[in-house]
Amino acid sequence: MFKRLWPGLVGSFIAGAAIMYMAAPYLAPVIARWLNPKGSLYVSVKLVEKPEEVVPGKDLSRLILLSGDEIVDIAYPKKGWHEWDNLEGYYVVKAYTNDMYAGQTKVEVKPREKKKAEITTELAQSIIQIEVMANKGKNPVENAIVEIVSHLGIPYRNELTDSNGETNEISLARTAGKNEYYDIYVYQKKDSKKSLITRSEGVKINKPREKFTLRVP
């Protein structure tokens, strides 16, 4: 009798295994959520002027996830959003565009909840121009290398001055936060060596259009 049942049992086993194999991709997330009762958080950063669009990845420097005053994680999204798993409780997410504070959101993530939140921001840009002058502001410095660095030490622009000692117009994110600023360094190149000739540190940019004059001692 067992011999007669054996082919049927084998066939049923194979059929069941095939069904489980095909269903595995769909069952895995369900099982994972059951085994891990914590939730997830999906945060997107949207533009004020185009609320249907996320901030371009090249402009979204980072998202900081905090629980109270403690930093839980820092994400560097390649797109305008990020998702965290294994969360439960109250959190604050802060967004930074071009290294400058852009906004935040407060959320509560409940067990097994797939929470979604948005931060809406304006990519506030200022147009600035750097002028480099020597001899007490009388003579323009041509072909000076102007380097603009964020408060995190990340170089953002590298421009040459023209015959008037001026750079091209430069678009930069405004310094919205109290501790945000730019440092401006001016170099001259001689015999393939670059030497610092003047600088201005802790520069705040808050107006739509500004011009800064740096004087060479």
Count how many residues are written for the chain. Answer: 217
Cα 3 from chain centroid (whole Å):
66
pLDDT in tens, 140-183: 999 999 999 999 888 888 999 999 999 999 888 888 888 999 99
Superfamily of segment(s) 125-215: Carboxypeptidase-like, regulatory domain (2.60.40.1120)
- Give the helix/strand (H/E) hosting 203: strand 193-203
* Architecture of the CATH domain 37-121: Sandwich (2.60)
d(CA 119, CA 115): 14
Q: Using 50, 70 and 90 to split pLDDT, how confident is the model at 20? A: low
Every domain of the chain and the residues it spans: 37-121, 125-215
Claim: this prediction has a pTM higher than 0.75: no
CB 207 within 8 A of CB 176: no
Residue of higher predicted confidence among 37 and 41: 41
Query: Do 125-215 and 37-121 have the same topology in CATH?
Result: yes
